[in-house]
Amino acid sequence: MTAFPSPNFGERRGRVLPSLVVIHYTAMASCAEARARLCDPAVEVSAHWLISERGEAEALVPEAARAWHAGAGAWAGLEDINSHSVGIELANTGSQPFPEPQMAALERVLRAVMQRWQIASHRVIAHSDMAPARKGDPGARFDWRRLALAGLSVWPEGEGDAARPLAASLDAIGYPVADPAARLAAFRLRFRPWGQGPEAPEDRARADAVAHLMRAAAEKA
């Protein structure tokens, strides 16, 4: 682990403790370019962790501090996600697979973050989850099922009730109020990346399964 401290942080508002982890991709050509941006005081963006394609984990902001990674959005009734979360950036342009060394390093960093702050698996989310229509990272190539199998996220292995309204399921999962098409797109990026076109019964069935999974994880936490 290498530390490249970023000056772009402040106090968590209300002195809250982290209860979420938000996963991003950098959308930049190289890890070095992303690091420079995340540590540039003129840009005013940052994250707690940056993980390179080779699996090098760099601590940019102390986890107890409020990094500036999430921007406008909400999740499960929480706003000011920066104050409530730890942000992890993965060096990736957004159009390439996530290499094995990077995913393995993410698992190590994520597990330690979750243990330090007692963050449950259902509280690990995508940037696109909390900001539908505005953000698309970490995108359709990211392997959420792998994290779930390691106990670091959630993934449904079965399907639910296709008759349940999609909006009700997305509300229960935690998605913020947004344009229905944007919410569907965000849900698909995370849980059904092969889905295309208008809302389908398969979307409703999967969303219902995820809602039940989230509820069960919350009760267990």
Cβ atoms 113, 63 nearer than 8 A: yes
Cα–Cα separations (whole angstroms), residue 174 to 130, 168, 209, 215: 8, 10, 14, 10
Q: Residue 220: what pLDDT?
A: 84
Q: Residue 2: what pLDDT?
A: 60
Please indicate, yes or no, if residue 101 is contained in any of the structural domains.
yes
- Beta-bridge partners for 79: none
Please indicate, yes or no, if residue 160 is contained in any of the structural domains.
no
Active site residue 89: yes
The enclosing H or E element of 20 equals strand 20-25
- Tell me the pLDDT of the chain averaged across its residues: 96
Please indicate, yes or no, if residue 127 is contained in any of the structural domains.
yes
* pLDDT at 28 > cutoff 90: yes
Q: Where in the sequence is the domain holding 127, given as residue range(s)?
A: 2-149
Please indicate, yes or no, if residue 204 is contained in any of the structural domains.
yes
CATH number at residue 62: 3.40.80.10
- 183 and 83 in a single domain? The answer is no
Query: 3-state class of 128 per DSSP?
Result: helix
- 145 and 170 in a single domain? The answer is no
- 138 and 181 in a single domain? The answer is no
- 109 and 183 in a single domain? The answer is no
pTM exceeds 0.75, yes or no:
yes
- 109 and 206 in a single domain? The answer is no
- 94 and 181 in a single domain? The answer is no
Please indicate, yes or no, if residue 133 is contained in any of the structural domains.
yes
Q: Residue 160: what pLDDT?
A: 97
Please indicate, yes or no, if residue 159 is contained in any of the structural domains.
no
* pLDDT at 41 > cutoff 60: yes
- Among 46, 90, 84, smallest CA distance to 68 is for 46
Domain-ending residue, one of 116, 149, 182: 149
Domain-ending residue, one of 119, 149, 179: 149
The active-site residue, picked from 33, 53, 89, 199, is 89
Quick count: other Cβ atoms within 10 Å of Cβ 218? Answer: 13
Model pLDDT for residues 119-148, shown as the tens digit of each residue: 999 999 999 999 998 999 999 999 999 999
* pLDDT at 1 > cutoff 80: no
Domain-ending residue, one of 149, 174, 190: 149
SS3 assignment for 137-174: CCCCCCCHHHHHHCCCCCCCCCCCCCCCCHHHHHHHHC
> Which DSSP state fits 15?
G
- State how many domains the chain has: 2
Query: How does residue 177 score in pLDDT terms, banded at 50, 70 and 90?
Result: confident
Q: Residue 103: what pLDDT?
A: 98
- Among 103, 62, 79, smallest CA distance to 177 is for 79
Mean pLDDT of 15-40: 97
Query: How does residue 118 score in pLDDT terms, banded at 50, 70 and 90?
Result: very high
Q: Residue 221: what pLDDT?
A: 76
**Structure-token pair, residue 51:** 């993980």
Query: How does residue 164 score in pLDDT terms, banded at 50, 70 and 90?
Result: very high
- Beta-bridge partners for 125: 22
Model pLDDT for residues 61-73, shown as the tens digit of each residue: 999 999 999 999 9
